[in-house]
Amino acid sequence: MTDGSIGSKRRNRRRASQDAPAKTVGRTVDYHNLRSPFPTMDVFSPDQAASMHETALTILEDLGTRVLLPEAREIFTKAGATLRGDDTIHIGRDMVNAALSSAPKSILCKGGIPTKDFVLEQGRLVFQAGAGAPHATDLDRGRRPGSARDYIEYLQLTQHFDVFQMISPQVEPQDVATHLRHYFTTEAQLIWSNKFPFTFSRGTPQVMDCFEMIRDYRGLSDADFASAPQTYTIINTNSPRTLDIPMAQGLIDFARFGQLSIVTPFTLMGAMAPITVAGAITLSHAEALAAITLTQLVNPGAPVAYGTFTSNVDMKSGAPAFGTPAHFQASLAAGQMARLIGLPWRSAAGSASNSNDVQAANENQMGLWGCLMAGATVVIHAAGWLEGGLTVSYEKLVTDVEVLNMVAELCAGASADPADIGYATAIAEVEPQGHFFATSQTMERYATAFYDPIVHDYANFGTWTERGATDANNRATDVWKDIVARKDQPGLKSDSLGQLKDFIARRTAEGGAPPES
Amino acid sequence: MTDGSIGSKRRNRRRASQDAPAKTVGRTVDYHNLRSPFPTMDVFSPDQAASMHETALTILEDLGTRVLLPEAREIFTKAGATLRGDDTIHIGRDMVNAALSSAPKSILCKGGIPTKDFVLEQGRLVFQAGAGAPHATDLDRGRRPGSARDYIEYLQLTQHFDVFQMISPQVEPQDVATHLRHYFTTEAQLIWSNKFPFTFSRGTPQVMDCFEMIRDYRGLSDADFASAPQTYTIINTNSPRTLDIPMAQGLIDFARFGQLSIVTPFTLMGAMAPITVAGAITLSHAEALAAITLTQLVNPGAPVAYGTFTSNVDMKSGAPAFGTPAHFQASLAAGQMARLIGLPWRSAAGSASNSNDVQAANENQMGLWGCLMAGATVVIHAAGWLEGGLTVSYEKLVTDVEVLNMVAELCAGASADPADIGYATAIAEVEPQGHFFATSQTMERYATAFYDPIVHDYANFGTWTERGATDANNRATDVWKDIVARKDQPGLKSDSLGQLKDFIARRTAEGGAPPES
């Protein structure tokens, strides 16, 4: 089953327990539709946050942003922005405010089937696996350049776990030629997954190919396709203060066709951003506002998400660090900016570690809690990311999913009604120093009371040793191999698959589409 | 230095930078005095929480608690509680409410030197390392029964890191005879540490010996000793609804001498407590209230902390699990109870893993965030705990300290004043696509901008591989060996050391004190 082993196991246990005489009171946990139960945390005072927003508007107005794509400069200047020098665009406050008014606060994202749709808006919680890595690694095969096989296997894994609502641009299939790579990645997403797919902004020809494939293979009319986002892209600005050609083109193409751009300045404090959280997020905020404004000038109401990915460098070596206190605070600060403007928004977890060790686990979870307490709508790189994004790890994907599943369980909340407290059905039934294994309340609930882990092991030391003393990483290897071996193709519809293959064959014969605008 | 390498390194860097022309703007981070910056999270509605509290009072009134120590029963009945059967005490609401009124909301805990004092009250944050383990483990020597050597080494480690404000009853020195063990552990704490020491409640004779040693060795008069807690104990009830002899005796002895009891029912949902979070915490709350009431009957105003340690068992095997969603929610629920009664309170992190692997890291951090979002005053077992407390790991202590240090850094907050945003001193100084390594703001702040990790490694994959590809655990081995090798004895005062040795020699000759009340 592609719905995730957790949910399936739980359902099976519930079904089995129907043969038992006692009524089973089940928890219902919907990993696909999560609302954050976590209170948001501010790192700055409201006045300081307001002053950061004002400073960002001043940056856009007075310092300006380099916009390298002529078409984008034209869109800005036609709307009233000022061009100074060759390519620096100065955007007034009014234009930014108008864009923030027209950008939707709630966005329905479409999967391949209705149960894979989800909504992006503040208060929701969506996870995406580690993305954009040139390398893949696992304990069996070691670290290697990402390949088509890795791409598909990683896709099987992210499809399998319900806690990932979006497909990520996970690992770069370096063995596929760049002018044909987008055919491969889009076809793979459509065959091996039924979730919300990703499209790289690597020039209009590639983007249009991808849009066409998604529309036709998922059996959508042009109107269907435009009615709600069927795919999304990530837009990284070139910090500081530069919007390059493919990124600007992506913003324009996605806005025009009603598809989702997630705008994410990627800034490292002390390197391409100020050394302070306040400075780095102010700069990142300005850059995000410029990109959001462009989408709304192209198509008012176009779906766009705010975002940030800001951490710090190690000042001794200049190396990027993740899951640090500064990374955590940057997420909190971005959350304050996001709440000021009201848009759904993304932040990111991540790890700088070179293997899936304790450092990797601790960094990723620290980064995750920063996102959760910041109120991030989408947590990107929530699982599997090593080396600051240069590698995705199969085992780390699995061990991080354990954490995400637990967060999803927390989203379900808990109740303390009298039946839950169980004064009569549990507490009064048990004598002092007795046990609760057989109380009425326990009998009703034992089958579904607790989260059932995928890789964590509760065996005692003796049993664990007898079983081979395997650590979480080695157990994770068994988990991912089992999933990959199933070869589930939930996106497969044979009638449209033929068309898709024909399309790719034709476009390949025509020379494909190089990654250029 | 005993003040922790983090603080020392930072101070050294700051000192060094005074030779540089630029003024250094330093962060000040005080790991010893932490206030929680995290918003508290409720898992239940206020009505539900109030109903749990009421149900707990009904449990104490109608179901009663077995109290196995005659002296404790007498204290309860003299104050108006009802004895039914041989040893079941029924405590009225009024008596509990009176105890909650007299119990102090703020408690000054004394270290061996004034800078090691700290305050326990809601809003503060105190960490204690993993405690009470029969075994110790490290990568060099493997898993073994805890020994005197382990006890001292572990003490050196917890003394070293500023983020531990309290000494924990870390590992059981099984090679010291039980009738002499309390001399050894107290002497070791007084020699190898200057922090707030722990005393086991293993009968009045041992407790009195420990009080005497702490009083005399730390040079205190009886009045000094009684003026504020100089030591603390952990009181675990025997759930459900039983207060055994040593625990009741400990509550009485510590209250009488103005020393601190931390009351902690240790309950596993589905085993010795109801299977629900609501039921388990209601029972735990009742048991804690009974114990707190006893302290206040003995000595109104005696320092006592509320506490819980509630997680779930794996319903398939009955094995204890930690760092689970149910554990997290139990901490939140206990936090709601604690806020109702206003006392400082403890919760706990922990891990069920059998080695310091990714599971161990993820469980401990998940449990930690449960405590932090619950607003726990003291987080016990915050580092080093494996196998549900059967083993403490030297490496895990170090890797968990990395996480605690980062939490301590978050307690320091951040500022977004104009100088922090740095519009003129950073953002406007850098051209589009330039870098911030040399801005005025960076030059002012680079030496102290970011947390400097103790074991996390930011080297890239190539460099890391050349250096031997050591994982966090192996790096942690180097960290603890370095600390242990220093042989710092910050508690040592030669004049009183002689007296202490004489005292122990005399008491040993007299036959010591068996662990009996």
Segment B59-77 mean pLDDT: 98
Q: What is the pLDDT of residue A152?
A: 98
Alpha-carbon span A207 to A244, nearest angstrom = 16
Chain A contact present for B422, CB below 8 A? yes
Q: What is the pLDDT confidence band of residue B496, given thresholds at 50, 70 and 90?
A: confident
- Residue B418 belongs to some domain of the structure: no
Residue type, B39: P
For residue B175 the two structure tokens come to 């090679």
Segment B131-151 mean pLDDT: 98
Calculate the average pLDDT of chain B.
Answer: 93
Question: ipTM of this complex > 0.90?
Answer: yes
Helix (H, G, I), strand (E, B) or coil at B149: helix
* pTM score of the predicted model: 0.95
Q: Do A415 and B48 touch (CB under 8 A)?
A: yes
User: Is the CB of residue A236 less than 8 Å from the CB of residue A200?
Assistant: no
User: Is the CB of residue B317 less than 8 Å from the CB of residue A459?
Assistant: yes
- Residue B144 belongs to some domain of the structure: yes
Q: What is the pLDDT of residue B3?
A: 35
- Residue B420 belongs to some domain of the structure: no
Cite the beta strand spans of A323-435 per DSSP E. 345-348, 378-380, 385-386, 391-393
Alpha-carbon span B84 to B246, nearest angstrom = 22
Give the full edge-to-edge strand order of the sheet including B65-67. Answer: B82-84, B88-90, B65-67, B242-243
For residue B509 the two structure tokens come to 């000759």
Digit-coded pLDDT (tens) for A462-476: 999 999 999 999 999
- Taking CA atoms, A225 is separated from A111, B240, B309, in Å, by 12, 60, 53
Residue A269: strand pairing partners: A273, A312
Q: What is the pLDDT of residue B26?
A: 62
Q: Do A274 and B63 touch (CB under 8 A)?
A: no
- Residue B220 belongs to some domain of the structure: yes
Facing A275 at nearest CB: one of B363, B436, B453 = B436
Segment B419-432 mean pLDDT: 97
Residue A321: strand pairing partners: A312
- Residue A257 belongs to some domain of the structure: yes
For residue A23 the two structure tokens come to 């009524």
Name every chain A residue with its beta carbon within 8 A of the beta carbon of B273.
436
User: Is the CB of residue B385 less than 8 Å from the CB of residue B352?
Assistant: no
Digit-coded pLDDT (tens) for A260-290: 999 999 999 999 999 999 999 999 999 999 9
Q: Is the pLDDT of residue A443 over 70?
A: yes
Digit-coded pLDDT (tens) for B500-510: 999 999 999 99
CA A260 to chain B, closest CA, distance in angstroms equals 26
Q: What is the pLDDT of residue A26?
A: 62
Q: What is the pLDDT of residue B6?
A: 31
Segment A384-392 mean pLDDT: 97
- Residue B149 belongs to some domain of the structure: yes
* Element spanning B322, H or E: none
Residue of chain A nearest B445, judged by CA positions: A275
Facing A417 at nearest CB: one of B48, B359, B403 = B48
Digit-coded pLDDT (tens) for B259-293: 999 999 999 999 999 999 999 999 999 999 999 99
Residue of chain A nearest B435, judged by CA positions: A272
What number of other Cβ atoms are within 10 A of residue A224's Cβ? 13
Where b means 16+ CB within 10 Å and e means fewer, B29-45 reads bebbbbebbbebbbbbe
Q: Is the pLDDT of residue B25 over 80?
A: no
User: Is the CB of residue A342 less than 8 Å from the CB of residue A306?
Assistant: no
Helix (H, G, I), strand (E, B) or coil at B247: helix
Alpha-carbon span A231 to A259, nearest angstrom = 6
Chain A contact present for B119, CB below 8 A? no
Q: Is the pLDDT of residue A2 over 50?
A: no
Give the length of chain B: 517
Q: Do A472 and B357 touch (CB under 8 A)?
A: yes
Domain CATH number, residue A120: 3.20.20.480
Facing A426 at nearest CB: one of B274, B390, B449 = B274
Classify burial at B342, counting beta carbons within 10 Å of its beta carbon; exposed 0-12, middle 13-18, buried 19 or more: middle
What number of other Cβ atoms are within 10 A of residue A315's Cβ? 22
Chain A contact present for B274, CB below 8 A? yes
Digit-coded pLDDT (tens) for B328-375: 999 999 999 999 999 999 999 999 999 999 999 999 999 999 999 999
Q: What is the pLDDT of residue A25?
A: 60
Q: Is the pLDDT of residue B49 over 60?
A: yes
Q: Do A326 and B426 touch (CB under 8 A)?
A: no
Q: What is the pLDDT confidence band of residue B12, given thresholds at 50, 70 and 90?
A: very low
- Give the strand pairing for B232-235 and B260-263: parallel
Calculate the average pLDDT of chain A.
Answer: 93
Chain B contact present for A340, CB below 8 A? no
Q: What DSSP character marks residue B439?
A: S
Q: Is the pLDDT of residue B64 over 50?
A: yes
For residue B435 the two structure tokens come to 């870098």
- Residue A152 belongs to some domain of the structure: yes
- Residue-number span of the structural domain to which B187 is assigned: 1-412+429-517
Q: Is the pLDDT of residue B10 over 50?
A: no
- Of the given ranges (A20-29, A47-56, B223-232), which has the lowest mean pLDDT? A20-29
Cite the beta strand spans of A88-156 per DSSP E. 88-90, 107-109, 118-120, 124-127, 135-138, 142-145
Facing A362 at nearest CB: one of B361, B428, B464 = B361
Where b means 16+ CB within 10 Å and e means fewer, A102-141 reads bbbeebebbbbeeebbbbbbbebbbbbbbbbbebbbbeee
Chain A contact present for B277, CB below 8 A? yes
CA A20 to chain B, closest CA, distance in angstroms equals 16
Name every chain B residue with its beta carbon within 8 A of the beta carbon of A368.
none
Segment A168-175 mean pLDDT: 96
- Taking CA atoms, A473 is separated from A250, B41, B187, in Å, by 38, 32, 42
Q: What is the pLDDT of residue B325?
A: 98
User: What is the radius of gyration, based on Cα positions, of chain A?
Assistant: 24
Chain B contact present for A88, CB below 8 A? yes
Q: What is the pLDDT confidence band of residue A315, given thresholds at 50, 70 and 90?
A: confident
Q: Is the pLDDT of residue B14 over 50?
A: no
- Cis geometry, peptide bond prior to residue A240 (ω within 30 degrees of 0): yes
Q: Is the pLDDT of residue A23 over 50?
A: no
- Per the structure, how many domains does chain A have? 1
Q: What is the pLDDT of residue B386?
A: 97
Percentage of residues of chain B with pLDDT beyond 70: 95
Q: Do A433 and B240 touch (CB under 8 A)?
A: yes
Kindly tell me the sign of the dihedral angle through the C-alpha atoms of A210, A211, A214, A219: negative
- Residue A164 belongs to some domain of the structure: yes
Name every chain A residue with its beta carbon within 8 A of the beta carbon of B278.
414-417, 420-422
Q: Is the pLDDT of residue B8 over 80?
A: no
Alpha-carbon span B504 to B516, nearest angstrom = 18
